[in-house]
Structure 1
Amino acid sequence: MSPQTVLVIDDERDIRELLTITLGRMDLKVDAVGTASDARHALSERSYDLCFTDMRLPDGDGQQIIELIAAQYPDTPVAMITAYGNVDAAVNALKAGAFDFVSKPVDIQMLRRLVRTALKLTEERRTGAAAAGARDRLIGASAAMQQVRHTIAKLARNQAPVYIAGESGVGKELVARLIHEQGPRANGPFVPVNCGAIPSELMESEFFGHRKGSFTGAHVDKEGLFQAANGGTLFLDEVAELPLHMQVKLLRAIQEKAVRPIGAREEVPVDVRILSATHKNLGALVEHGQFRQDLFYRINVIELRVPPLRERRGDVPLLAEFILGQLAAKSGAAPGKLQPDAQQALENYDFPGNVRELENILERAMAMCDGELITAADLMLPQRALR
């Protein structure tokens, strides 16, 4: 079996040599070039499993290389090498299609983790081994849901932070899980956290952990949510609920890819992909000074909107059939059957609570109906939300 190959594009000889030696020790074959024109020639000559490109090149810039690879060599993950602290360049690279980014000076351990994750993604792309569960679990045949599934498949291929927007009950956590499961981190942990459910005074300890004796009640060392998600995905649900002091600390953790547990002297590196969601309008909160603009730009590299149920009414019968089947499997009873008047009532209902509300309505109807037949009266829909 021939070794996997990596293309390194950087005009600094020291960086090229460092990456060549490090990647060589991982049994990878490395081609290293110093200009954009040499990079284009190399890409046209052979297929690469991974590419690293510097941001600034003598005859171009890394952004152009990323766009070229995304357009012409989509099976090759590419990572941007950025100057320390240049977050804007990293964000722009991710938006252009970069898999991830590496800051100078290069952290060797972080580099190795990135390489392993990227090469796993390359193998999945070429063998077609990526998970295909979105169709089975994200129910709906509408154009809106087909687009959501298509976008999930694309987002699963890189490490860019994704902001999932949508009303309460539309299935934002399910979307986050599918992004995780269809990507190269699928075997790592998926750690969901409801930011609105953690008391403000406990947030730092919950997110970053603490050392024994660092405060009253800290009887043992405790790892935080970032450490628990190491190698996988951290899903920040209701991220708008974070108080401003935690927004600052979260921004630093995301930018530095490291956390400092309470009472610790040094930061602990973490390899975590950040997905976030809220039912609130984050842009409006930024305008009113209730959410930091720099954090907003950092977590909202790519936005995925999940449509409310009223915008895809044609999916209601499919969803209802699926939910009734799940309820029957849970209870051991025969699946409930919607009568024509019940189906019509559901299709005319606005569902302010979206899919979660549909689940509650059908569970209640199963308890109220006679036998297996569910009528409109069994649904007990509030009249104010009917069209």
Structure 2
Amino acid sequence: MRPIWVVDDDHSIRWVLQKAISREGIPCEIFSSAAEVLERLETEVPQVLVSDIRMPGQSGLSLLSKVRDLHPDLPVIIMTAYSDLDSAVSAFQGGAFEYLPKPFDIEKAVELIMRAVRESQTEEFVEEAESAAPEILGQAPAMQEVFRAIGRLSQSNVTVLITGESGAGKELVARALHRHSPRASQPFIALNTAAIPKDLLESELFGHERGSFTGAQALRRGRFEQAENGTLFLDEIGDMPAELQTRLLRVLSDGHFYRVGGQQPIKANVRVIAATHQNLDERVKLGLFREDLYHRLNVIRLRLPPLRERQEDIPILAKHFLNVSARELGTETKRLSESAVRIISEFPFPGNVRQLENVCRWITVMAPAQLVEARDLPPELKAFQSGGNMALEQMAGNSPSPNLWLAEPVLPASTPSAPVSVSAMSAGKYPFDAVPSDLASVLAEPINAASWLDLLFIEAEKALEGGQPNVMDALTAQFETTMIQAALKATHGKRIEAAQRLGIGRNTITRKIQDLNIDVKDID
């Protein structure tokens, strides 16, 4: 095995690191100056280089620059007692694997060095050519239905209404519909109707004549004219003001419109594709959206599934976005470890594909190594990973009151001989010893949120006082078992529906049933 090199003008630092690294079974060589390292690099290359930033002669940053030129794949960890912003920025801009401020905990320093060792041992990643990246990525059945619909509509000019949550990729679908239509060679014009102020939206859509209002110093062609013979994509159509709905209805009805301040009708040869995250049926009932316009737009409805309904697509989407963000930033593409892929695949992504894309940008910039581990993920994903408390809060419906967790119930000292009911315990009539040790049995009887949290507090306190190890894991496992059993019972054993009701993926519920050894034979 190639050694680790440590260069520092401080003898004590060299000695401590050499001893700590050697205990891991890895050879370590020490140097007192950058010049010694550069001379040795002419004949040998270490597995990892750990360098101080300020040394007599050449600095650690100068050494880093030369090492990156000679051996760009060699991980370099920069140490410094001057942990200022400029040093950190310079280290990362120079291509450092990580930045280690002094004084440091020796165990954490060794852990960081071992990560760099694993990185250096990883086979060089050869990025797959993406000469013709797909317009839309997706292997999930729900996305295959979307692809089939686009195929069926490829030779049609019919109006399409795309529904789906924000960030799900509705504009991508609209562009695909245009690209595979007879109008593909003509303009595709997109307008987010919710992003334009109400007073300007009419002019944006239909244009205006010179002098038609204050500031209208020249004739302006609106989006309908710009999209002539092509496709006009109206995003967030559900938020369109009522008066604009009327004007849009006229265009869709007779194919003509007027510029603001205009007197002559203009014929529109435009295919309209609309999209919304709103429930238009409900908005029609509430009088917020014109029913006749709704029927004009809703000729073909295409539902785009949220990312949580196509979790099997998350790994390929993440790989794609990591490639894209690496190209944009001019860096090497980061790779996700199995643990990182598992966490990302199970995360619900309320912001859908757009949120996943932002996560991949964060990873490209912030993750220290090319191989991204679970601990390198953004804070919201790491919080989800260790979400035992989060799951309990979600079950209660909101964040539990501090009093439910901290206030100790006032209970008498005697233990009843009669069977204990959940309602009696929740009322505070019996001592701690009367509480069943199995949380699943406690939760089996319907009780209100406050009472089951009181019982959970009692159970947790008993386990902690009794010295039980891994209390969080044990109680969380019982909690998840109870929730899954209840969901399966409510859905008569239908796992996919149970997963949807719980707000988790179908792969997640299958894995948890196996990991928790949940017996599903008697659940119908």
Q: What is the TM-score of this pair, normalised by structure 1?
A: 0.64
Provide the aligned length of Structure 1 versus Structure 2.
255
Aligned to 2:292: 294
* Amino acid in the other structure paired with 1:334: E
Q: Is the deviation greater in 259-268 or in 372-381?
A: 372-381
Deviation string 1:129-160 (CA, Å, 9 cap, x unpaired) is xxxx9981211111111111111111222111
Aligned to 2:212: 214
- The one of 200, 203, 209 equivalent to 2:198 is 200
Deviation string 1:176-227 (CA, Å, 9 cap, x unpaired) is 0000000110111100000011111112111111111112211111111100
Q: CA contact under 8 A between 2:311 and 2:345: conserved in structure 1?
A: yes
Aligned to 2:247: 249
- The one of 159, 162, 165 equivalent to 1:161 is 159
Q: 1:134 to 1:291 in 2, by over 3 A?
A: farther
Aligned to 1:106: none
Aligned to 2:189: 191
Q: CA contact under 8 A between 1:134 and 1:178: conserved in structure 2?
A: no
Aligned to 1:112: none
* Amino acid in the other structure paired with 1:281: N
Q: Is 1:139 matched with 2:137?
A: yes
Aligned to 1:327: 325
Could you tell me how far 1:339 is from its partner in structure 2? Answer: 0.9
* Amino acid in the other structure paired with 1:360: N
Provide structure 2 residue ranges, at least 5 long, that are not aligned to the other structure.
1-130, 385-389, 392-502, 505-524
Aligned to 1:228: 226
* Amino acid in the other structure paired with 1:274: V
Q: Is 1:269 matched with 2:259?
A: no
SS in 1 for 2:134: helix
Q: CA contact under 8 A between 1:134 and 1:149: conserved in structure 2?
A: no
How far apart are the structure 1 equivalents of 2:194 and 2:132?
A: 27
Q: Is 1:318 matched with 2:320?
A: no
- The one of 171, 177, 182 equivalent to 2:169 is 171
Aligned to 2:146: 148
Q: CA contact under 8 A between 2:209 and 2:261: conserved in structure 1?
A: yes
SS in 1 for 2:350: coil
Provide structure 1 residue ranges, at least 5 long, that are not aligned to the other structure.
1-132
Q: 1:360 to 1:163 in 2, by over 3 A?
A: same
Q: CA contact under 8 A between 1:362 and 1:379: conserved in structure 2?
A: no
How far apart are the structure 1 equivalents of 2:281 and 2:375?
A: 41
How far apart are the structure 1 equivalents of 2:313 and 2:178?
A: 24
Q: What is the TM-score of this pair, normalised by structure 2?
A: 0.47
SS in 2 for 1:212: coil
Q: CA contact under 8 A between 2:146 and 2:304: conserved in structure 1?
A: yes
* Amino acid in the other structure paired with 2:274: S
* Amino acid in the other structure paired with 1:305: R
More contact order relative to length (CA 8 Å, sep ≥ 6) = 1
* Amino acid in the other structure paired with 1:179: L
SS in 2 for 1:145: helix
Deviation string 1:251-276 (CA, Å, 9 cap, x unpaired) is 00111111101222110001000000
* Amino acid in the other structure paired with 2:143: M
Q: CA contact under 8 A between 2:326 and 2:364: conserved in structure 1?
A: no
Deviation string 1:270-294 (CA, Å, 9 cap, x unpaired) is 1000000011111111111000000
Q: CA contact under 8 A between 1:285 and 1:291: conserved in structure 2?
A: yes
Q: What do you get for the CA RMSD once the two structures are aligned? A: 1.8
How far apart are the structure 1 equivalents of 2:275 and 2:246?
A: 18
Q: CA contact under 8 A between 1:314 and 1:347: conserved in structure 2?
A: yes
How far apart are the structure 2 equivalents of 1:376 and 1:288?
A: 46
- The one of 289, 296, 305 equivalent to 2:303 is 305
- The one of 355, 361, 364 equivalent to 1:363 is 361
Could you tell me how far 1:314 is from its partner in structure 2? Answer: 0.8
Return structure 1 stretches of 4+ with deviation > 6 angstroms.
Answer: none
Q: How does 1:14-29 map to 2 (within 5 A)?
A: none
Q: CA contact under 8 A between 1:366 and 1:374: conserved in structure 2?
A: no
More strand by share: 1
How far apart are the structure 2 equivalents of 1:333 and 1:198?
A: 36
Larger CA Rg, structure 1 vs 2: 2
* Amino acid in the other structure paired with 1:193: L
